[in-house]
DNA sequence: TTGCCATGCCTATAACTTCAAGGTATATGC
DNA sequence: GCATATACCTTGAAGTTATAGGCATGGCAA
């Protein structure tokens, strides 16, 4: 079961984090990669190959808005969460809570867990 | 993003639950499918097509032991967690904690999260 | 008897996501 | 000139879940 790709418990997490971070302030791709790493205390690290496809997909769905900005001769594309994006974030957090709560119940030894 | 396969936040969860449940008492595949559903309060449901491959893989790795038993004319294969299985369960729970803690930190608005 | 459903095992295909590695380009430091 | 950091992007591989089915037995009802 040694996963190299799709590691344990990571499905959907990058998208959740991106949406959450972009709800606070606008950021560009390269910045997000590092923000995810620092904000999680090095616990979670994702590559650019993970972030960029998510940004493009979310923007195509109208969950993100982007604007180009030249900084020090380099081109940056800043993304921020739209209303639809925040709505989607809420749905993702609800789902995240649902799963984590369920797992916690079982892990804590839910004796009969019937009634 | 409407996922039909590999839904949000489910990667690795079925394996964790199977290992956890089989650490308490031996169960057979069909029983596990229902046990996961009831023990999570209907929050998590997995089909047989998810459980059986996991059982076979874990057994092949020595994480599970099995014994055949005939009950009411039907053949059942009971699985239980071995020492290696419990060790793997421990590793999975540690990883689970690591990810969920990290996500919780970001979601709760991680101030600047620099130092 | 016949038919249907629940039990109980199993497999194959499709779909989705993450990961690693590479490609392009500019600014800076040696 | 050359290497590194920034900054964007794409491609291919790997792994997991979901859906749908196949096979077989027992119990129940018509």
Whether B6 maps to a domain, the answer reads no
Inter-chain touch A20–B102, beta carbons under 8 Å: no
In a domain, A23, yes or no: yes
User: B39 phi and psi, to 5 degrees?
Assistant: -70, -20
B16 touches chain A (CB under 8 A): yes
The reply to whether A8 falls in a domain is no
| pLDDT block averages, 10 residues each, chain B of length 115 | 76 97 96 95 94 97 96 92 97 96 90 46
A115 found inside a domain: no
Residue A77 lies in a domain: yes
Would you say the C-beta of B56 is within 7 Å of strand C? yes
CB contact under 8 A, A106 and B1: no
Domain CATH number, residue B29: 1.10.10.10
Query: Is the CB of A103 less than 8 angstroms away from the CB of B96?
Result: yes
Domain membership flag for residue B46: yes
- Is residue B1 included in any domain, yes or no? no
Total of domains in chain A: 1
Give the range of the structural domain holding residue B87, as residue numbers without chain letter.
13-107
Range A44-60 average pLDDT: 96
Q: How far is the CA of B5 from the C1' of C24 (A)?
A: 35
Do the domain assignments include residue A3? no
Beta-carbon contacts of B82 under 8 Å, excluding residues fewer than 6 positions away, are: B62, B63, B64, B65
């Amino acid at each position: 079961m040694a996963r190299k790709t799709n590691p344990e418990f990571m499905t959907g997490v990058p998208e959740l984090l991106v949406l959450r971070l972009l709800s606070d302030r606008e950021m560009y791709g390269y910045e997000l990669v590092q923000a995810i790493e620092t904000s999680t205390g090095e616990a979670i690290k994702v590559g650019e190959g993970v972030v960029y496809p998510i940004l493009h997909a979310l923007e195509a769905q109208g969950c993100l808005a982007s604007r180009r900005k030249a900084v020090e001769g380099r081109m940056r594309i800043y993304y921020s969460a739209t209303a639809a994006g925040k709505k989607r974030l809420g749905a993702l957090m609800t789902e995240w809570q649902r799963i984590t709560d369920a797992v916690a119940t079982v892990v804590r030894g839910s004796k009969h867990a019937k009634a």
